[in-house]
Structures are given as C-alpha cells and as structure tokens.
Structure 1
Amino acid sequence: MDTLTFDPIRKSLVFKTGYDPDLVEDIKSIPGRLWNKYSRDWTVPTTEVAAAIRVAREYGIHITDEVMAMSGKLKEAHELSAAVAHEAADNITIPGLSDKAQLRPYQKVGVAYLASKRRAILADEMGTGKTLQSLCTVAATNAWPAVVVCPASLRINWQREAQQWFPDKKAAVIGLGGGKKRDQEILNAKDADIIILNYDIAKDVLPALQDAGIEPKALICDEAHYVKDLKSQRGMAIQDMAHDLTQRRDSVVILATGTPVINRPADLIAPLKIMGNLNEFGGWKGFVTRYCNAKQTRWGWDISGASNIRELEQKLRATCYIRRTKDQVLQELPDKQRTAVEITLPPAALKAYADVEREFASWYRGFTDDNSAETLRRITALRQAVGQGKIEPTISFVKDIVDTGEKAIVFAIHKEVQDAILNGLRAEQLRVASITGEMESEQRQAAVDRFQYGQADVIVCSQKAAGTGLTLTAASNVVFAEYDWTAASHDQAEDRAHRLGQKNAVNVWYIHAAGTIDDAMAQTVEYKRKIAHRVAGDRDAGDLETSREDIARVLASIASRQGGLEKEKKKAKIDNEQQQKAEQQKAEMQQDAEAEKEKPRSRARVSAELEL
C-alpha cells in the first residue's frame, strides 16, 4: 500500500509508493525533497508536512496517524513569521468588535502579525476571513479612519461586513453616483470611520479626500492584484496615499489578496513598493536579479522568470507577508474536487467552430508580423465559438444537478454565452438568478440573497463580475461553461462556494469540449496552477494576465490539430483518388469483357446472312 509516513531515524517524512510520473513531478515541487536511491523512496522535511499531505491526498496515498498529528502541531507555526509569538495573539484586544464576532485562533494570529508589522500583505487563501482580519487590525492599532479600495462589485459587501463586525463605526461608500452626488458622498465621508471606494475612481477620489480635509490612518487594498501597474493612474494614486501613510508610525497599510504570487515573482514588486519594503529586498534591480532570474535582452530586462523561490518566501514571511491556506486553518471546511466533463459539441456548433478554426489557421500560416493583439483577438473568436457550442450541454448538465435536489453556480466568460445559458435554464422552468457586469452593487447583492436564501436553485454568473468577494455557499456544485486564461480566475470563482460556511464537499465541474481550443486553455490553466504552487507554497493561485507563452501554447495546439486535420484530409484525398482509379479500371475491364462476348455473336450473324 502506498503510504506517507514518518521515519524517526532520518527525521523526515517518507513517501513509500510505486512509480507514477505525475506523482514524482508533484513531489519534486515540495521544497527540500530528496530521492534516496538505496531505499528507493522520497523524503520530505517535516516543515513541509502540509504540502506533503496535500500531495498524498491528491493521489489517494495512505497518511499515517503520526503524520496527521504532526500536521496538527505544525500548521499554525508553519505559516507564521518567527517574529510573531502566539502569546501576542492571546493577549490582543480589539476595541469595538461586535460580541457576535468570534475570531478563530489563526485569525487572532493574523491580526497580531499585521498589527506588529503595520505594512503587510495579507495573503490568506480565499474564504478565510481577510476582511474581518483587516478591520480588526485597524481597530487593534486604533488606525481610524480607514480607506478601503476594492473592486466595485465588493463595495456593498465591505460595507455590510464593516457594519456587522463594528456596529459603532460609520462606513461610507463612495462611487454609487457621479458628479454632484459623488461630491456629496465625499462630504458625508468626513465623519466616517471606514471609507469604501472602488479602484476605477481611486485616481479622482483619493486626492479629493485629502482636499476635503480627511486624513486617513489606514489603507486597505482588497484584491490588491488590481494595482500591479504602478504607472497607471490608479496605481500612482494608491502609491501616493500609501507613501504618505508610511511616513507616520501610527499608520497601517494592508494589501489583501488570495492570489499574492501570480505566475511570477515580478508581480510582488508593486505591493512591496507600495508598502515601502522593496529596498529590504535589494531594490528593483536587486529583487529582479535575485528572484526573477532577470536577463538583459536587446529589448530591455526580461523579468518573467523565477529563482531562489524558497529564500524569497522565507524572507517575505519574516518581513511583510502572511499566508494560511484553508486546509491548514479550517479543518471543518471540506476539500473541493475538480472534474472535467468532456462533451461533444452539437453538429451545427461543431461545424461553426471548425469554420472559425480553419479561418484562424489560414490566417496564422500567412501572417509574418508578431502582432499579439491581432492573435489574441482571433483566439478570442475561437473561445467564443466553443463557448457558444457548449451552451446546450451546459444547460443539460446543470438541469441534471438540479433534478437530484442540489443547487448549482454557473460561470461564463462571454456575455452571449451567459445570457443563452440563463434563458435556456429558465425555459426549463428552473428558478434562476444571475449576476452580470452591468448590474449595480445592490442588484448583485439582491441576486446573491435570492440564491442564498432559497429563492433560486441556480445562479448564472459573469466570471469577471462575480468571481471575487461574494459568498455563494448555498451550493456545493460549481460549473464552468468556459475556460479563462488563468488559474487564479477559476480558483477565485470556485471559492465563492468553497469558503467558510460551506458544510458539504464542493464539486467543481469544467464543461470541456475535447478536440477544440479547450484542450490548450485547460493546459494553460493547469500549468499556471502548478507554477503558482511552486512559488507561493500552495496550489490555488495563478496569473491574472495573458502572456506570450500562453498565446504560444494555444497556437501550438491549434497548429498541431490543424496539421493533423490536413494530414487526414490529404490521406483521405489520396485514398479517394485511388478508389476512384480502381473503380474506373474495374469498369474498363468489364467493358472489355462485354466487348469480347459480343465479337463471336457478330461473326455468326454475318455467316448466317451470307448463307441466305
């Protein structure tokens, strides 16, 4: 039996298993793993017990009780900087916190860490309560008023949670209106303790707050990967406010995100710079040289690589970074399981998709300029075509789920796909709610409430509009009708159901049209998931942007598929020509045989005529 056990002599965890190339690759992703050629097994440091258990569970490997006990002892300590003592968490006080709020032990440790650092990345996995920890840190340090910058779809959610956990504090939302209404919102925020606004208006509102005499002592950036580009107007506005705050010892800056290391270490440059910590990592050049495997090219620096990852993670945790995954801190939260549901496109949809793919292949063979924008546009057309083809199979699959008495969350990328699925499910007489990109925050929350409180069996969502921040734990089935470019996009959407409050095992279903661009998209998502796992120390993270490597992977898949189709066509053409030639030869031979039969009869007829 394959086993994960503890060897007291080697003082290591040991994988005793048969050979499985996929398992070997995953074990190799665990820091410090070693292959012992004499005992023919893999050893893993005890400090990596959480990673070892995750791999063992994925492959159905038996885990001994001793390893599980070790996991329980190490889980809290494993994810914390040595500078943060657990005694601090036990003694921390949070003035104004509602009596109804019960912080879990790991949340107290998180607040203690953030309060001691005052500038930090709160990178706990999605669904672990980053909003509560952030607000409690502000309260513990008395850093009121606090400015919260978040995606527009999460403003109402932030306001609700602020009022729930800190009922004596006033929470004001800016951005629900424009012009004079926004001016009034800013005026009303002058006596607020928590000021909430979205990233899209940060460049205008943050300076306006200062002009209005509002002097915040805390800045919280939720879904902080929205500010990777510090040259953008929103990035510059947030950096300016953060810089002003870092000049004050009593201030707090928290960057909260469930996907902190997104495909490459270079994405940590912006948050480190916002917090004023980049110099501790050697400044820009020192960071990219040491951790991004930077290379000087004729076009400039290539910082898309990764190097010295283990060192980077350790230094981050000791300096300004805390991350706990759900399997480490929420023992009662069931694991989620991903399954690809392979389907065949309906005939008409398959023909439509094939036409688009042939057109793409024809264009690609003839183009000479590496125009990524045009390539991406044409790939998008392919994704739309396959998405439209999966509408009927998705409706059928979701209906089957509801027929078993369960509820479902459906995510789509393209609006026409979402609308068609929504209308199709309604035509099946199902109770359906929806969240679209055009909805206001209040409308989105109303749709969530309908679904959560039993007025809808299915909620069909735009993955971009509903992929973060919302709680949809009324369902334990998550269905993706389309693939996005990134693991992070899917992981965040999955965790609308897989979060605190979920009591059932979460099943994630990917509707997959084999033999289409879905193959390459699925490969891209999984590749990024593995890369992020190696960098961040967990599996559920990924990039939020499309790279040339992603495009190249899709192009290679399409070229290979089209190449195979061309070979099949050529072979079929040759076979057809050979068959036609054989049939023609056979017909000619039959004609010759008939002609031979006619010749004797003709001579006999001539002789008879002569005798007469």
Structure 2
Amino acid sequence: MARRGQPQNARGRRGGGAPAPDRRRGGARKREDVMSVLSDAVREVQTALGRGRVTPATRTKFQATALLLRNERARIRAAEISDSRRAERLKRLDDLATSLAKNAVRDAGLLALLGEDAVVSDDARALERDMLRRAGVESAPVEEAPPPEDAPAAPAKPGVVPQSVVSRQMSNPFLAPDFSAARPSAARPSRLSGWELLGPLLRSFERAGTGASTSMTLPGPSSRRAPGRQELMPHQAQLVAAAAEGHRTFLLADEPGLGKTAQALLAAETAKAFPLLVVVPNVVKTNWLREAGLWTPRRKATAIHGNGDSIDGFADIVVVNYEVLDRHVGWLGEFGFRGMVVDEAHFIKNKGSQRSQHVLGLSERIRSFTANPLLMALTGTPLINDIEDFLAIWEFLGWIDDKKPLAELMDTLTATGLTPADAGFSAAARQCVVDLGIVRRRKVDVAADIPPRRIADLPVELDGPTGRSIRAAERDLAQRMVRRYSDALAARGSGPVEGIDHDLVRRVATWEQKDAAGSPNGDNVFSMMRRIGRAKAALAADYAAQLARSAGKVVFFAKHIDVMDEAEETFTKQGVRFSSIRGDQTSTARQRNIDAFVEDPDVSVAVCSLTAAGVGINLQVASNIVLAELPWTAAEQTQAIDRSHRIGQSEPVTAWRILAAQTIDARIAGLIDDKAGLAAQALDGSDEEVGSSADAQHGALVALLTEALS
C-alpha cells in the first residue's frame, strides 16, 4: 500500500517485485478516543521509567503525552458541554496529569519538560500527531497549528526576524518604507455620523432581490496577454484593467475555478504593488509560488516556512501561511509592503481569532504608511455561516472599522442623500459597498467553455450487523430526543399541547447538537456519521476503482482518516495506484502527491481529505469525483467539486455522492441540496432570504425528532 505522503510505487502493481506491506496488518486499525490513547501513553511512560533509565525515546513520549494532555484539557474547558460532563472529563485528565508528574519527580530533566516555556522537540510534535491519528483525529498539516475557529486571540509567539530580511534592511536605505503618504481613513463629519450603519449595510445584502448588482462596474479588457505570455480570459482581463485604472480594493468572490490567483498577481503587477504580501492556507503556499512564476515571471517570489530561515529578503512577493504568521507579524509590519492579498479570505471571518487579528493588524499597518495600497480578499465562498462573515473582510479592505464605515464608504453613503429610515436606503447602500470593489462572476456567465457539472447520488444499502447497528443507533438517538422533548413539555406545566411544538423541537435539536460537540463518545450525530462513513468506505472505493478503469482519473474525498485508510487498502488490493493528499503532510510532500496524480498516467486516484484538499489545489485532470462522506455545508461540497470543475477542465464533471440509504446520511444530503449557499443569495441576486447557512447537523436532528414525534 502507498505510504502516506508519497504516491504509490508502481513496482509490485504490475506483477514485478513484492507488494507493498499492509500497514494495518489484518484490516483497518482500531481507532481509540483521545482519553484512551492518553491513558495508554501514561502507562507506557510509567513502565519505561520503572526500568530506571530515562532514554531519549522516553523523554520524547513524556513530552508528547504532556503536550496532548495540556491541549486536550484546554479543548474540554472551551467545549460547549454540560458542567457535570466537563468536570468528569477534566478530573480524568487531571488524574492522568498527576500520575505523569509524580513519575517526572524521578528525573529533573523530565520536570523541565513540563514548563510552559519548554522547547518542544520536533520528535515530540510528530509523536503527538501520531497519537491523535490513533485517536482518529485529523491532525493539522506539519507546519500548521491553527487555533479553533472560535478561539480568542492568544499571546503571540516570540517574534523572529530572518537574517535575509535583516540583510535587505541594511543593504540599501532606499528600500526603507515611506510612511509619509498614507491616505486618511477616519470618516469625516457627515449627516450620517449619528446613525448605526453596519447593521443596515448587512441587511441590504440579506434582502437583495433579483436584479441587484452582483459586481462593481468593470472596464473592458485593455489586453489579454500576460507578461508570461499567458492568455487571460476576458473576465480576468477586466479586473486587471480596473487595477490599471486605479482601483485598489477588491473582494474578488468569483466562483472557485475562475483563476483568482492569476487576477491577483496581475493586478499587483499593473498597480506596481510590490513588495506584495500574500497570506494563504498552508495547503496552497507552494501553488502560489508556481503561479507567480507563471504569471509574473519577472518578479521573485519567496515563501516563509517555519522561522523563515530560507526566505529571500529581496523578493517582490512574500507568501506566508496563516499558521506561522504570529511569529513574523512584527517584521512584516515594517517591511514596506505596497499591497496585500488574503487568499481563502473566509478564514478570517472570526475577528476574535489570532489569525484574523494578525491579518487585520497588517492591513491597517500597510494602509497607515502606503498611499493607495492594493488590498485584495480572494474567496469563492465569502459567506460560510452568517451574513456577518462580511465584516472582517470589509475591515481588512479598509472599508469599515469595528464600529462604522470609514471615509471612502461614508462619503459614498452620504452622497446618496438617504438615511437608514428612508425606503430606498437599502438598495443604494448595497450598491455603495459593491462599487468599492466587490467582484463576483459565475462560471455559467463568463466561462462558457468550462463544461457543465452535475451531482449524482448513489444510494447503497448497509447490510449485515453494521447496517443494523447504525439504524438501531439512529432510533436510539431519536428516542433520546423524544424523551428530552417530553421532559421539557412536562416542566412547563402548561397542560397538553396539540400537535408538535416545532420551536421546542428546534431547541431540543440544539441541546443535542451541543452535547454531541462536547463529547466524542456515545451515539450522536457526529459519531453516527463517522460510523456510516466507515461502513461506506470500501463500497465507495470499489466504485471509484471501477470509474478509474472505465473513465480515467478519479478524485476520492473523505472526512476521516480511517475512511481514507480503508479506501486506500481497497485500492491496494485491487491494484489501483493512488496518490494520498492529507493534512499531516508537509507542503513539499503534498505537492509531490498532487504532481504524481496530475502528471503520472498510471496514478488513477487521488485520495483526498476534505479538510486538507478541499481548497486551493487544481485537479482538473479528473472529471469524476467520489464523495465518500458528505461535508456539513453546501459551500464545502462546492469547494471540493471545484478542485476539478475549473479553468482547464475539458470534460463535464460529475460528483458521485455515496449515500447510505435509510439513514441520517440521506437526510443530510437533502438538507445540503435544499439550501442555496449564502454567497449565491447575498451576491448573486437571489430572492431567497438570507439567515444562517444551512446547518445540516441541526436540520437532520430536527427532521429526525419531528418524524419520531409524528
């Protein structure tokens, strides 16, 4: 079987040489929860220390265990679970930590490893990731350690200044940033100064109807030839022409696959916005360097890895991933950038998170010392959860601050002559925001040469003990919610209720959802979807193998490690070569596997993590996609499909969803289909009302309880 991080070796797949070893030896390895893995690790450390000699391996295991204990404790404290459940789990963790600390007393070196300022070795971090994998948790990529999406900003790690940057600063005084020409951002006094405006601005997008403008007015393309002798599509050339005419802030929300990276690089070239800072997810860092070489070949591009020891301080384009931004934010703020691009800008939607605060702080810093900097937010899905996801992006672009519109937007709003109390304010205000730089194009409108796509559902029957167990667990879940519903009705003491109290149904579903999020154990919506995924894995992989033999390359998406493992084992048994794209790979390994799938005709399947490969990679050599597990939102599903349905695709794209019939799996598929994406509603002029995004988890629980009550 192919090793994770490397494309499968062709040797042994055509009869020559020995077959690759099965790393699970007898089937899919059992996945334990984090608490069980921690208990085993503490016992192993105790046994090793009982032998009387502290080896380097023991020190590594001790530090990895302590690190995982600390992180798990922080996760439990922040989880939305009942106080009794939190107290019970924290007690178990404290008991394990106490046992570990008592053993550390035997060796002063081990005690030092428990300090908050202790240096964590690479081996310890690697072992911690392995422990998480054994617990069935998808660990972050090697260079990443992202905080939870809703985590508050944490103190930044000690800043570093790469030697190459120091050399740049000392080599030529004329490279020093010019702080003298910053544009004013404070709003001037206006007749709207006393009005609360951010709420009405958001509502103007919620209520946008058919015919509302979806994009700022763009000039006709002046040229479609890029510096690298590449041909631009007309919609790409239009945005570059807008930058050439002096426009400098863009929310580029084109649908995935329409070449946003190329547009951003050429807009920077046209605007002479160098040096340019590009902040990206780790998974697309290497791809940005490649694209820069293709579209702006005269501009040197460099990427920041780790502490930045390998970067070129004299480069025109500096690419950094969100997860290492904290240690470089100091010198980046003083570098003198004349432009900044944020890729997958929906990553900054939570303004309280550390990565969002770093991005917003750098944007403010650049605007404070650069006259008319180029600021671009790129995302095909600007709205994931709520219309308020817009706020962080608008703040990054300098259109608003935390409380109000800034000067340029306030001036245009004032020029309408309207206030939020006037009937026409909503439409006029929305247009004011759009004209500041929202650019949204759909494939169907601007890329007619991209073939169509469709989603096809393939129901599968889960037979035998596994299927019966899953259906029984679903019934138990429904009955548990029925009891909660009945208890809540009884607690009201208001007498019998005719029919179903749908408001209470939604609240019971919310309670169940919160309990499930706080506990990895027991039968809940998360554990059932994971069990269903495992039960479908071999069936989905078998179908993907058939597609690969009959129709060419296939992209196989799954959410969980064990589902990917099971699929890869199936491919190995059937002699199908595959490439694995996961979250625990380095950028180099990930790109090597992408290249193997794209360039090697014998590599038939790309086995992809929805988390690690759902954004920012190009897999248009495949026109068939197998979704072995469903994502939770329509936006995630679209992102995955658009890895293949993009510029360069020559065949119609089909996404095959493998659904477990007569289970909650099919309900979630229906809920995803019933809800249009927020971007389509708020930006594409839909008549549908925009609220929260399609919450498939909550919707499935509501449907399950409603059916049980009926």
Q: TM-score, normalised by structure 1?
A: 0.68
Could you tell me how far 1:122 is from its partner in structure 2? Answer: 0.8
Alignment of 1:270-309 (within 5 A): 270-278=392-400, 283=405
Q: 1:505 to 1:313 in 2, by over 3 A?
A: farther
Matched, 1:261 2:383: yes
Structure having the higher strand fraction is 1
Deviation at 1:464, TM superposition (A): 0.9
Alignment match of 2:362 (pick from 241, 247, 266): 241
Q: Corresponding residue for 2:287? A: 157
Whichever residue aligns with residue 219 of structure 2, its letter is A
Residues of 2 paired with 1:558 and 1:375: CA distance?
15
Q: Using a 3 Å threshold, how does the CA distance of structure 1 residues 309 and 326 change in structure 2: closer, same or farther?
A: farther
User: Residues 151 and 199 of structure 1 are in contact (CA less than 8 Å); yes or no, is this contact kept in structure 2?
Assistant: yes
Name the counterpart of 1:388: 534
Q: 2:222 aligns with which of 77, 83, 90?
A: 90
- Kindly tell me: are residues 475 and 538 of structure 1, through their superposed partners in 2, closer, same or farther at Cα, counting changes over 3 Å? farther
5 Å matches for 1:126-141? 126-141=256-271
Structure with bigger RCO (C-alpha 8 Å, 6+ apart): 2
* RMSD of aligned alpha carbons: 3.2
Mapped to 2, the partners of 1:533 and 1:123 lie a distance apart of 11
TM-superposed deviation, 1:357: 2.2
Looking at structure 2, the residues matched to 379 and 544 of structure 1 have their Cα atoms a distance apart, in angstroms, of 23
Counterpart among 334, 337, 341 of residue 458 in structure 2 = 341
Shift of 1:552: 3.0
The residue number in structure 1 matching 2:606 is: 459
Cα deviation per residue 1:156-208 (whole Å; 9 max; x = unaligned)? 00011112222222211112x3xxxx1424xx342111111111122222223
Residues 311/535 of structure 1: CA separation in 2 closer, same or farther (3 Å cut):
farther
Question: Residue in 2 aligned with 1:503?
Answer: 650
Do the aligned residues in 2 keep the contact of 1:122 with 1:323 (CA within 8 Å)? yes
1:405 and 1:125, CA in 2 relative to 1: closer, same or farther beyond 3 A? closer
Contact 2:460 2:658 in 1 (8 A): yes
1:449 CA drift (Å): 1.3
Q: Deviations over 1:211-256 (max 9, x none)?
A: xx52211110000000001211111111111112223224111000
The yes-or-no answer on 1:103 pairing with 2:237 is no
For 2:680 and 2:328, the matched residues in 1 are separated by 36
More displaced 10-residue stretch of structure 1: 108-117 or 120-129: 108-117
> How far does residue 554 in structure 1 lie from its aligned partner after superposition?
1.6
Secondary structure class of the residue paired with 2:659:
strand
The answer to whether the Cα contact below 8 Å between 2:678 and 2:693 also exists between their aligned partners in 1 is no
Q: 2:344 aligns with which of 203, 211, 223?
A: 223
Q: Residues 462-481 of structure 1: matches in 2 within 5 Å?
A: 462-481=609-628
Number of corresponding residues? 455
| Residues in 2 aligned to 1:142 and 1:357: alpha-carbon distance in whole angstroms | 59
2:272 is matched with 142
Aligned residue identity for 1:105: P
1-structure distance, mates of 2:609, 2:658: 16
1:415-426 correspondence to structure 2 within 5 Å:
415-426=561-572
147-156 or 356-365, which deviates more: 356-365
Over alpha carbons, which structure has the higher Rg? Answer: 1
SS of the counterpart of 2:287? helix
Amino acid at match of 1:141: A
Contact conserved, 1:31 with 1:310, CA < 8 A, in 2? no
Task: Please say if 1:556 is aligned against 2:705.
Answer: no
Equivalent residue, structure 1, for 2:249: 119
Q: Which residue number corresponds to residue 593 of structure 1?
A: none
Alpha-carbon distance, 1:343 to partner: 1.4
Cα deviations across residues 84-110 of structure 1 (Å, max 9, x unaligned)? 432xx316997xx21x22222211111
Aligned amino acid, residue 81 of structure 1: M
Instruction: Look up the SS of the partner of 2:657 in the other structure.
Output: strand
Alpha-carbon deviations, 1:505-556, whole Å to 9, x = none?
11111111122111332133224425542222179x9x99988x54431212
Residues 445 and 332 from structure 1, CA distance in 2 versus in 1: closer, same or farther, beyond 3 angstroms?
Answer: same
Counterpart among 313, 316, 321 of residue 438 in structure 2: 321
Deviation for aligned residue 1:389: 1.5
SS in structure 2 opposite 1:353?
Answer: helix
Contact 2:279 2:321 in 1 (8 A): yes
Q: CA, structure 1 residues 383+312, in 2 after alignment: closer, same or farther (shift >3 Å)?
A: farther
- Find the counterpart in structure 2 of residue 411 from structure 1: 557
**In 2, Cα distance between the equivalents of 1:143 and 1:225?**
23
Deviation at 1:563, TM superposition (A): 5.2
Residue number in structure 2 paired with 1:184: 309
Quick one: structure 1 residues 471 and 530, their matched pair in 2 at CA, closer, same or farther if it must change by over 3 Å? closer
Partner of 2:278, secondary structure, is strand
The structural deviation recorded for 1:373 is 3.2
Give the drift of 1:476: 0.5
Gaps of 5+ in 2: 1-206, 410-423, 489-507
- Higher deviation after alignment, 471-480 or 391-400: 391-400
How far did 1:359 drift? 4.2
- Asked if 1 retains the 8 angstrom alpha-carbon contact of 2:214 and 2:683, the reply is no
Gaps of 5+ in 1: 1-28, 33-46, 49-77, 288-306, 565-612
Q: 1:390 to 1:132 in 2, by over 3 A?
A: same
Alpha-carbon distance, 1:114 to partner:
4.2
Letter of the 1:438 partner, please give it.
Answer: D
Residue aligned with 1:103, SS: coil
Q: Is the 8 A contact 2:208 2:427 kept in 1?
A: no
| 2:547 is aligned with 1:374 | no
Task: Provide the TM-score with structure 2 as the length reference.
Answer: 0.59
Identity value in percent: 27
Give yes or no for the alignment of 1:397 onto 2:543: yes
2:326 pairs with 1:203: yes
Q: How far apart in 2 are the matches of 1:406 and 1:399?
A: 10
SS at match of 2:222: helix
428 and 562 in structure 1: CA distance in 2 versus 1, 3 angstrom threshold: farther
CA separation of 1:360 and 1:311: change in aligned 2, threshold 3 A: farther
Give the match's secondary structure for 1:191.
coil
Deviation at 1:348, TM superposition (A): 2.6
